[in-house]
Amino acid sequence: MSQRCEKGMTLMELLVAMVIGSLVITLVVRGLGLSLNLYDRVAKITSSVDVRFREAQWWTGSIASLVPCTDIRHCVEGTSTELVGYTFAPILDSAGKRTPITWRLQERPGESVLTYREGNNAASTPLEMNLALPRDAAFGYLQPDGEWVNEWGGDGGTTRLPVAVRIEDASGGVWAFGATMQRPYGRDDYRDMLGE
């Protein structure tokens, strides 16, 4: 009698192996899909936080580096909706270069949008910040005596830098704040060193 040696797998063993393999592949693909979905959600949240942080840095940096008056035509002027001046920390141009800037609050249906323009070209497209502001947002300027006002320097009599600038709503809530870090007066004026 001869013995028959079986080589290979039976049909049933092959079917069981295929089912187990397909279950493993399905679980791996599903797990990969879930992890990619989670990655996308985290990336969206992280990028929006990064943009807001960067824009807050732009605001505080440009306010901290406001340039004091060098002559009456180059002073910081501000209203409740617009701040015009010169900074050493522009967003688009080289840092350290005295650059004219304009921050403006533009009213839209139900909200205000903070925009930024660099240079003297009024035709250039302003940058829109992602900061969600209420419709009644306004600039406020801190005087040396600690009082907040909504107008700064437009009459030509205020050659001093404000101590700080903020964006506030009608109820007094502060949405953005920046303190000036330069000397409050221009080079030819040393009143700040004399305590006046």
Question: Under a CB-based contact definition with an 8 Å cutoff, are residues 137 and 169 in contact?
Answer: yes
Question: If we measure between CA atoms, which residue out of 132, 184, 153 comes closest to residue 79?
Answer: 153
What is the predicted pLDDT for the residue at 139?
93
Residue 93: inside a domain: yes
Residues 97-119 have a mean pLDDT of 88
What pLDDT, in 10s, does the model give residues 24-80? 999 999 998 888 888 888 888 777 677 778 888 888 888 988 888 777 677 888 899
Report the percent of the chain where pLDDT is more than 70. Answer: 86
Residues 170-190 have a mean pLDDT of 78
The band of 3, judged by pLDDT with boundaries at 50, 70 and 90, is low
Residue 19: inside a domain: no
Residue 54: inside a domain: no
CA 192 to CA 169: how far, in whole Å? 31
Q: What is the CB neighbour count within 10 angstroms for residue 111?
A: 12
Per-chain mean pLDDT for the chain: 82
Residue 23: inside a domain: no
**170 vs 159, which has greater pLDDT?**
170
Q: How many domains does the chain have?
A: 1
The band of 194, judged by pLDDT with boundaries at 50, 70 and 90, is very low
Quote the pTM value.
0.69
Residue 91: inside a domain: yes
Residue 112: inside a domain: yes
- Chain mean position to CA 66: 18
Residue 41: inside a domain: no
What is the predicted pLDDT for the residue at 196?
44
The band of 183, judged by pLDDT with boundaries at 50, 70 and 90, is confident
* Least confident interval from 24-28, 52-56, 87-91, 98-102: 52-56
Residue 47: inside a domain: no
Give the domain range for residue 136: 62-194
What is the predicted pLDDT for the residue at 155?
61
Question: Under a CB-based contact definition with an 8 Å cutoff, are residues 96 and 182 in contact?
Answer: no
Token representation of residue 121: 């070209």
